[in-house]
Amino acid sequence: MKEISELNLPADLRYADDHEWARLEDDKVRVGLDDYAQDQLGDIVFVELPQEGDTFKKGEVFATVESVKAVSECYMPVGGEIVSVNNDLEESPELVNNSPYGDGWFVVINPGNPSEMDTLMTSEAFLEKLKGTE
C-alpha cells in the first residue's frame, strides 16, 4: 500500500469524505474513486455502475466496487442526473487501479445543484484528513 505522501491527489479535483472525486467540466461533473480508496481496496475485479438517465441525490449510493479484499459502495459527491457511464469498466475494472483520474472514471453527471461542489474538499484539505486517519 502507498504511503500518504505517495498518493496522487490532483489539485483540480474536489474530494468527498467517502473517497469519491469530482471534476467540474464545463457544466457537467465527472466522478470516480480516489487514489487512496483504490489503493486500499487492492485489485479491483468488478464495478457496478448506474444507467444513463438515473438520478441521485448527494450522498446516495450510485456504484459498487468489488476488489479481491472487499466490496465497497460509492456515494454521489453531488446530486444530479447520470449523462455518461464509463462502460469500459465492465470489461476492464482494473482501469480504476491503473488510472483512477483518467480512464478509470465512473460517471458524468448533470448536477442538479452545482454549488454542492463547494461542499467537497480541496486536495490539500483531503490530504490533511487522510493524515489524520493514519
DSSP, residue by residue, 85-115: E-THHHH-TTHHHH-TTTTT--EEEEES-GG
Reply yes or no on whether the pLDDT at 134 is more than 80. no
Convert the pLDDT of each residue in 14-55 to its tens digit.
999 999 999 999 999 999 999 999 999 999 999 999 999 999
pLDDT for 132:
85
pTM (2 decimals)?
0.95
**Topology, domain 4-129:** OB fold (Dihydrolipoamide Acetyltransferase, E2P) (2.40.50)
CA–CA distance, 134 with 132 (Å, rounded to integer): 6
Domain boundaries, the chain: 4-129
Q: Is 53 left (phi over 0), alpha (psi -120 to 50) or beta?
A: left
16's grid cell? 468527498
Reply yes or no on whether the pLDDT at 101 is more than 70. yes
Convert the pLDDT of each residue in 49-88 to its tens digit.
999 999 999 999 999 999 999 999 999 999 999 999 999 9
